[in-house]
């Protein structure tokens, strides 16, 4: 496998900052280097205005990235920032990939991720790389098995 470099924005909650190093290390073992534009403890955001943060800090970083990766842990579903980042990436037509936290058990997903993700994968380098590259659009539970099929409510036109 040839080395490849991808520009990504890793959407996460700040309590999961340590997981960003783990995912980058895992992908490096699979010959993928990611340049992450997300805001974390090594690249902090000290702004106070929510509108400023969205328009001047997060939006340009998400625009720059080719893919939005969502690092999913049990508390991710409660983050208004993660949901906003996913919705913004979707509006831009970005690829959106959910990745279960290393060692995680299944938990509730952020609503925007459920609505817009192209793929949701377990903690294996090959699955994550394939999802980032657009080579698979699978939905997996945290153990890598298939996510249950979700029904879509249909309404008649008229």
The domain spans of the chain are 9-133
Residue among 63, 68, 115, 81 at smallest CA distance from 13:
81
Under the banding of pLDDT at 50, 70 and 90, the label for residue 49 is confident
Report the CATH number of the 9-133 domain: 3.40.50.450
Q: Could you report the per-residue pLDDT of 100-117, keeping only the tens digit for each?
A: 998 888 888 999 999 999
Average pLDDT over residues 12-22: 90
CA distance 96 to 67: 6
| Confidence at residue 92, expressed as pLDDT on a 0 to 100 scale | 97
pTM higher than 0.75, yes or no?
Answer: yes
CA distance 86 to 65: 13
The answer to whether 99 and 124 have CB atoms below 8 angstroms apart is: no
């Amino acid at each position: 496998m040839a080395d490849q470099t991808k520009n990504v924005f890793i959407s996460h909650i700040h309590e999961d900052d340590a997981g960003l190093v783990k995912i980058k290390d895992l992908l490096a073992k699979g010959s993928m280097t990611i340049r992450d534009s997300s805001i974390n403890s090594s690249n902090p955001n000290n702004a106070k205005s929510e509108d400023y943060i969205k328009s001047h800090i997060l939006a340009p970083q998400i625009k720059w990235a080719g893919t939005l990766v969502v690092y999913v842990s049990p508390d991710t579903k409660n983050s208004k920032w993660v949901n906003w980042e996913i919705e913004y990436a979707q509006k831009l037509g970005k690829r959106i990939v959910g990745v279960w936290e290393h060692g995680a058990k299944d938990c509730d997903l952020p609503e925007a991720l459920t609505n817009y993700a192209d793929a949701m994968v377990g903690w294996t380098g090959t699955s994550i790389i394939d999802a980032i590259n657009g080579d698979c659009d699978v939905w997996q539970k945290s153990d890598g098995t298939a996510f249950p099929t979700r029904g879509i409510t249909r309404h008649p036109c008229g």
